[in-house]
Amino acid sequence: MSEEQNKIKLRVYRTNYSNDYSPRFDEYDIAVKRWTTVLDALLDAKAYSDSSIAIRYSCRMASCGSCGMKINGKPRLACYTKISELNSHTIVCEPLANFPRIRDLVTDFSQFFAHHKKIEPYVHNENVPTEVSNNDDLVEFKQTPEEVDKYLQFSYCIKCGLCYSACPTVATDAKFPGPQALSQAYRYMADNRDDGEKKRFKIIDERHGIWRCHFAGSCSNVCPKGVDPALGIQLLKGHLMGVSKHDKKIARVRTKEE
């Protein structure tokens, strides 16, 4: 049985920022099938039409976060967007907005990663050593499935930057940590192994910090992994406001016998 083939036009944003700024769109005719993704189409163009298309990709299964780009006006993952679901014969690919551009579809993530790093996204715990150094320490934290569910959703984040690209505050404010970093601050706060919220509150309760989010919701609208950063951010604000009560009990490690 053979599958019907469709022809589409792939319009790709082209420029090299180190040489000349003048961007242009190149068009490629690509034959696609029902399951062809935008990434497949781009790689097809790269292999057989124009090998100079610069594009970042790796896993092709929506778990590495490399292939974020603006597809038909909205930030999406190229490997996660099937051409057939776009309902259009012209597919326009542009680099993610709000990231410095390097070349064609490739953008610079160093600032995005720096924001993530700044919120200290690792377990702080004053009572339990975070390094396991001797065999007596071979006991894990006790954490029930319900306690895992409190933060699990936020650890789905693949750092693809789509939310960062959609957020209207990020569009003008370079110092705003952005939805990704802020939702990670919530992820660690909701994790009952961590007691570092005082430190993290200090970091995000800043002039350009969490309050520069005005619940535009666009981050959650585009997130491909269901992280719902907007939720995490507002819940975090609730804690800063003193509205949400803080009932987290820091987990303890189990005893050898348990």
User: How far lies 172's CA from each of 38, 176, 219, in Å?
Assistant: 29, 9, 15
Query: Is 48 a binder of ligand F3S (CB under 6 A)?
Result: no
What does 62 interact with, of ligand FES, ligand SF4, ligand F3S, none (CB < 5 to 8 A by kind)? Answer: ligand FES
Distance CA 12, CA 235 (A): 39
Q: Which residues contact 196 (CB under 8 A, 6 or more apart)?
A: 120, 123, 124, 125, 188
Of 164, 156, 157, the C-alpha closest to 108 is 164
Among 185, 189, 194, 200, binds other proteins (CB under 8 A): 194
Amino acid at 222: V
Strands 106-107 and 68-71: unpaired
How large is the angle between the packed helices 178-190 and 197-204, nearest 10 degrees? 160
Minimum CB distance to other proteins smaller for 8 or for 66: 66
What does 127 interact with, of other proteins, ligand FES, ligand F3S, none (CB < 5 to 8 A by kind)? Answer: none
Q: Is 102 helix (H, G, I), strand (E, B) or coil?
A: strand
Query: Is 123 a binder of ligand F3S (CB under 6 A)?
Result: no
List interacting residues with ligand FES (CB under 6 A). 57-60, 62, 64-67, 77, 79
Distance CA 139, CA 23 (A): 57
Hey, which residues between 153 and 172 contact ligand SF4 (CB under 6 A)?
157-163
Query: Is 36 a binder of ligand SF4 (CB under 6 A)?
Result: no
Q: Is 65 helix (H, G, I), strand (E, B) or coil?
A: coil
Among 10, 93, 101, 182, binds other proteins (CB under 8 A): 101
Minimum CB distance to ligand F3S smaller for 53 or for 230: 230
Strands 20-32 and 74-77: unpaired
Query: Is 197 a binder of other proteins (CB under 8 A)?
Result: no
Minimum CB distance to ligand SF4 smaller for 162 or for 251: 162
Name the minimum Å distance from CB 58 to ligand FES. Answer: 5
> What per-residue string of b and e applies to 122-134 under the rule 16 or more CB within 10 Å gives b?
eeeeeeeeeeeee
Minimum CB distance to ligand FES smaller for 161 or for 209: 161
**# of chain residues touching ligand F3S (CB under 6 A):** 13
What does 163 interact with, of other proteins, ligand SF4, ligand FES, none (CB < 5 to 8 A by kind)? Answer: ligand SF4
**# of chain residues touching other proteins (CB under 8 A):** 140
Hey, which residues between 143 and 172 contact ligand F3S (CB under 6 A)?
166-167, 169
